């Protein structure tokens, strides 16, 4: 660690200044108890899982919907996992949803419906790691735990000018953060750190003029705030190509299957598809068509679906076909009625693929109608 400006306030003074700032500037969020009221562990836990690597803006509507559908941990434990995946569809990182459900069952079936109130007990739960355990401990149980997330790493590394790059610097950052946690109001302190990082000490263009810690901040004194936290360089993301096959029945139903429970998009719905292969250029349509799961009058939809995952980019060619008259869904596949398609457990990339295929099909129908090709049977869009 390098050093920054002049003398710094003691840890207790820093905590007090931050709490005073928080009392005046805290964000009102649906999972936060009003000032002075005790937080519900279930809501704290649910929000912390949803907020892992996810923005407040994205998580908020999911949290409200989820809480309505699963009001407490017993309701969640009693629900089928498919319903949980449905409620999570679109949020990403789907192992979180599976772990969330598994965790609810552990709490109800093995822990009498109560959340553990120790760091070790919390961290033993599926989907709960060091950060989330500390956050729940501090916010829901008032324990003096340091919840170190990306916000806190940024605030701490700037304030103390931590020169070592992440993730190697994590232990040091954690120790520095822990030293600041006050005995009183540790939960508010944890949330104050996150609010400070999210609204003032932002990755780009920090509002140092509004910061309660400006006077002692090493990076502010040097004027190079945006260069912290130091980070190891990242690898380039490869490009992969594949195909999705959208089979549509006369009544508009779409053929879907469920992906394997683990791995990418685990346990989520998708139309049948090919393997995804890494390549420098898009493959020929004929090569992709050779991977169709069954014969049909496949037609390539113009254009393609592009999607960015954490560690690769995907370009999906979408083939679409009307279901043959006597088609029987192969094992593992099912017909999803058009009416309930919106509620299916489709991740966004697959939602895009299905929509792309249906768009293509409806364009065909309109073109046929204009050409006077006669009555088109089945439901429209």
135 or 288: CB nearest DNA:
135
Pick the binder of DNA from 84, 140, 149, 244 (CB under 7 A): 149
The upper half-sphere exposure of residue 381, i.e. CA atoms within 13 Å in the direction of its Cβ, equals: 13
Tell me which residue of 263, 53, 44 sits closest to 141, measured CA to CA. Answer: 44
- Least CB distance from residue 317 to DNA, whole Å? 17
In the numeric block, which tokens belong to residue 117?
């109130």
d(CA 254, CA 338): 7
191 or 317: CB nearest DNA:
191
Pick the binder of DNA from 294, 304, 307, 359 (CB under 7 A): 307
d(CA 200, CA 354): 41
Per-residue binder mask for DNA (CB under 7 A), 52-71, x = binder? xxxxxxx-------------
Pick the binder of DNA from 266, 293, 322, 329 (CB under 7 A): 266
97 or 296: CB nearest DNA:
97
Q: Is 349 in the site for DNA (CB under 7 A)?
A: yes
Pick the binder of DNA from 7, 80, 204, 377 (CB under 7 A): 204
- Least CB distance from residue 336 to DNA, whole Å? 17
Start-to-end Cα distance in the chain: 61
Give alpha helix (H) positions in 142-223: 150-159, 170-178, 186-199, 218-222
The size of the interface with DNA (CB under 7 A), counted in residues, is: 59
Pick the binder of DNA from 4, 8, 16, 29 (CB under 7 A): 29
Q: Is 106 in the site for DNA (CB under 7 A)?
A: no
User: 163: left (phi > 0), else alpha (psi -120 to 50), else beta?
Assistant: alpha
d(CA 145, CA 127): 18
- The alpha carbon torsion through 344, 127, 67, 308 (nearest 10 deg) reads -40
Q: Which of 11, 13, 37, 48 is an active site residue?
A: 48
User: 99: left (phi > 0), else alpha (psi -120 to 50), else beta?
Assistant: alpha
- Least CB distance from residue 92 to DNA, whole Å? 3
- Least CB distance from residue 265 to DNA, whole Å? 4
Backbone angles phi, psi at 343, to 5 degrees: -95, 0
Residues at the interface with DNA (CB under 7 A): 29, 31-32, 47-48, 51-58, 90-95, 99, 126-133, 135, 149-151, 154, 167-168, 191, 194-195, 197-198, 202-204, 231, 234-236, 263-266, 307-311, 347-349
Point out the residues that are catalytic. Answer: 48
């Amino acid at each position: 660690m390098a050093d920054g400006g002049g003398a710094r306030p003691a840890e207790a003074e820093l905590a007090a200044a931050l709490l005073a700032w928080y009392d005046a500037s805290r964000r009102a969020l649906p999972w936060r108890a009003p000032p002075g009221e005790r937080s519900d562990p279930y809501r704290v836990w649910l929000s912390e899982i949803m907020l892992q690597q996810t923005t407040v803006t994205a998580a908020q509507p999911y949290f409200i919907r989820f809480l309505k559908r699963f009001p407490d941990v017993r309701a969640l434990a009693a629900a089928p996992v498919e319903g949980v995946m449905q409620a999570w569809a679109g949020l990403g990182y789907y192992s979180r949803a599976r772990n969330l459900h598994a965790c609810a069952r552990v709490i109800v079936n093995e822990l009498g419906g109560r959340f553990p109130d120790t760091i070790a007990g919390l961290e033993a739960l599926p989907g709960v790691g060091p950060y989330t355990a500390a956050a729940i401990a501090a916010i829901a149980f008032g324990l003096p735990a340091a919840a170190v997330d990306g916000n806190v790493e940024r605030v701490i590394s700037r304030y103390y000018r931590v020169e070592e790059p992440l993730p190697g610097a994590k232990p040091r950052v954690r120790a520095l953060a822990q030293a600041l946690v006050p005995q009183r109001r540790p939960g508010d302190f944890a949330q104050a750190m996150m609010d400070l990082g999210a609204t003032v000490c932002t990755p780009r263009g920090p509002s140092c003029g509004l910061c309660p810690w400006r006077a002692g901040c090493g990076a502010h004194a040097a004027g190079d705030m945006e260069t912290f936290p130091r980070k190891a360089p990242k690898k380039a993301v490869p490009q992969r190509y594949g195909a999705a096959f959208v089979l549509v029945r006369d009544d508009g139903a779409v053929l879907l299957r469920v992906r394997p429970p683990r791995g990418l998009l685990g346990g989520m719905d998708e139309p049948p598809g090919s393997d995804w292969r890494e390549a420098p250029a898009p493959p020929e349509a004929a090569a992709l068509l050779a991977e169709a799961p069954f014969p049909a009058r496949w037609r390539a939809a113009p254009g393609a679906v592009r999607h960015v995952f954490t560690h690769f980019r995907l370009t999906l060619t979408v083939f679409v076909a009307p279901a043959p008259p006597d088609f029987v869904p192969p094992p593992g596949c099912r017909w999803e009625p058009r009416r309930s398609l919106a509620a299916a457990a489709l991740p966004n990339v697959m939602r895009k693929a299905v929509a792309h295929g249906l768009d293509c099909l409806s364009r065909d129908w309109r073109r046929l109608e204009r050409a006077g090709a006669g009555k088109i049977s089945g439901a429209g869009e």
